[in-house]
Amino acid sequence: MMWRYWLAGWLVSVSFACAAGSGPATMDLLRRPEYERVAISPDGALLAIAHREDGDTTVTILRRSDLHQVAQISTGGHGEFGRLSWMGSDHLLIAANRDTGPYHAPIFDPILYLVDIHKKHPLPMPANFFGTIHGDDHHFLIRECKDFSKDHECRFSLWREDIDQWLDKGQELAVAPLGDASMMVDHAGVVRFAWAWSKTARSQLFVRSDSGQWSSLNDSDATHVDEVPVGISRDNKTAFLERQRTDGPDVIESYDFASGKRTELLSDPVSDPLGIIFSMDGQEPIGAWFGPGRPQARYWAPNSDDAKWHRALVKAFPGNVVSVPSSTADGSTIVVFTYSDKDDGTWYLLDRVTHKASLLFHARPWLDPARMAAMEPFEFKARDGLTLHGFLTRAQGVNGPAPTVVIVHGGPYFVADDWNFDQEAQLLAANGYSVLQVNFRGSAGFGLPFMRLGYRQWGMAMQNDVTDATRWAIAQGVADPKRICIYGASYGGYAALMGVAREPGLYRCAIGLAGPYDLSKLYRWGDIHRSDYGMHYLNEVLGSDKAALVADSPVSRASAITVPVLLAHGELDGRVPIRYALAMRSALKKAGHPPEFVQYDWEGHGLSDPADMQDFYTRMLAFLATNLGPAQGSGSAVGAGGGNTKVGGGN
């Protein structure tokens, strides 16, 4: 079918291929996307495509003129590609890792390769590779440990190396003024910024002058906020910074290198910047997306050519978030990527001269976006008057109040539910369950003060927010009050069990995946406490009152949990060891309400293996059908009740 859009006064033709069929099969929603990345070469002659093939990610390089395959690179061994970018039109940078033995997730650090399309074998890049310089096809950047700071952290130096003379020492560009720092270079390869967080979460940002002198731009000990650079203008005269505020959401500022003048460019009364919008050539920030519901694009120079083009793309693909991940050197041809709550991602190739866009790939071509459920933003006031935001995905094929699953996100800090393609929500909606997701206090995306409202509120105000959202859904006639289950992973697993402990009449069941069910053990079990920064974090967000931590833990409230519970955990979870789940199971057994329990061998903090994911979600659907009643189109049952199961055993 052919759609025609007016793109800011320019006619653009876009070809779409629509999927056929009567709706997604249950497990089709869990399949990994087939297409993951697309990058066009600077001269526009080649396309590099990262796609799934036989369980691995493969990069195929095609000649645009006739779609002839020029080269193909495979990781082998269930590998993953984490980076795909051109370095000139003859070389491609790719980062790859893979799993090993029985492990179900890639466990090696990514190895960066430089692929010469005219040669057979890719060349491994140095392990200390840092980046490239815009427009420079002959040099790359590495960083080395110069010396150590007073905090015993490595101070990095940044070097420029010739791509053809790796054995030469190269040129040292700058040495960071503090330990363990990130750095940013401008488009001429000049080091401009360095920033880092200390073991006590102290944030420092330094700027480097034309003469090479470092000066402090922000110190959170004085300002009580963090600040990081997000990009530099093409002419290298202006930087763009995202700065926290003590009285509201983050803002975007410009910083003039010559004068040091700062100017606030964009802010929102509710939402942090959710993502930076870049120019059509990907080199310069031009705006940001803001929430709290469906992201809205805003620009600080709305009449600039780049802003006009991006605004036109947003209009051409209504209901989508739009970005330009790759372009030719002259910007005449760009790769456009779109996604929405109903589409996990689609790539187009747009000729900016003819104004014609052609469809390249759907990330999940077997799914029809028209048959997906919408993710509806909502807001309400919690019991203490705090305004909260969230998303509702309605059950498909259900009229009136529906059986509902409340999903609590993990984190709980620096994480949020956002508007995108959520395969869990789609899976449940396709099987007749509405899904409620709330960004309780402490969630990211609403500013530093909102996040801090969640500190030391595990099981208390944060839990009240989830409860209040559930009661809101009942009052709105969305959720059937007798058919609600609560589910989450990591922190969400903790909150699911706390939910049924504190509100025995509100939820009919609970599902916890990889949850820390005993807060007092976070100082002893897992990996968070093993670093100074981790200990500082735990003291900041949990406190050290052991009696309170015990009291606010589901494992201590097992006698109050009388509804059915499904617990799932990976045997090799290092962040939240399986000991938490075993202790929760024992406590529930002792209380006379044994849970259904499943242990996944060779899985870590979450599930990676497709077979394990299929097993877990099939169990979830069976568990929901048993405890909330049959739902439309629910999957086949896999034993429900107080049984124990081990799944896995290696590849």
DSSP letters spanning 166-207: TTS--EEEEE-SSTT-EEEE-TTS-EEEEEEE-TT--EEEEE
Query: Do you know the residue count of the chain?
Result: 651
Positive/negative CA dihedral, 114, 115, 119, 123:
positive
- CA nearest neighbour of 49 among 277, 326, 333, 256: 326
Contact status, residue 434 vs residue 469, Cβ threshold 8 Å: no
Q: Is 495 helix (H, G, I), strand (E, B) or coil?
A: helix
Q: Beta strand 509-513 with 479-489: parallel, antiparallel or unpaired? A: parallel
The secondary element (H helix, E strand) that includes residue 404 is strand 402-408
3-state secondary structure of 17: coil
CB–CB of 195/224 below 8 Å? no
Q: What is the per-residue pLDDT for 648?
A: 65
List pLDDT tens digits, range 167-219: 677 899 999 999 999 999 999 999 999 999 988 889 999 999 999 999 999 99
pLDDT score for 15: 30
Tell me which residue has tokens 């720092």. 181
Q: What is the DSSP string of 293-349?
A: SS-EEEESSTTSHHHHHHHHHHHHSTTSEEEEEEE-TTSSEEEEEEE-SS-S-EEEE
Given a contact cutoff of 8 angstroms between Cβ atoms, the answer to whether 346 and 323 are in contact is no
Residue labelled with tokens 């609600």: 484
- Contacts by residues 354-358 (CB-CB < 8 Å, ≥ 24 positions apart): 355/7, 355/10, 355/11, 355/12, 356/12, 356/13, 357/12, 357/13, 357/14, 357/316, 358/14, 358/15
Q: How many beta carbons lie within 10 A of that of residue 557, not counting itself?
A: 20
Query: Strands 596-600 and 565-570, how do they pair?
Result: parallel
Q: What single string gives the DSSP state of each residue in 29-87?
A: GGSPPSEEEEEE-TTSSEEEEEEEETTEEEEEEEETTT--EEEEEE--SSEEEEEEEES
281 vs 134: CA distance, rounded Å = 11
Q: Nearest to residue 409, comparing CAs of 480, 513, 563, 482?
A: 513
- Tell me which residue has tokens 């109050």: 560
Q: What's the pLDDT at 112?
A: 82
Q: What pLDDT is attached to residue 175?
A: 96
Q: State which residues of the chain have pLDDT below 50.
A: 1-23, 633-641, 649-651
Q: Is the peptide bond before 610 cis (omega within 30 degrees of 0)?
A: no
Rounded Cα distance, 365 and 618, in Å: 23
**CA-CA distance, 486 to 509, in Å (whole number)?**
7
How much is the pTM? 0.91
CA-CA distance, 605 to 105, in Å (whole number)?
11
Q: How far apart are CA 288 and CA 275, in angstroms?
A: 6
State whether residue 650 is helix, strand or coil.
coil
CA–CA separation, 546 and 538 (whole Å):
12
Structure tokens at 92: 């491609």
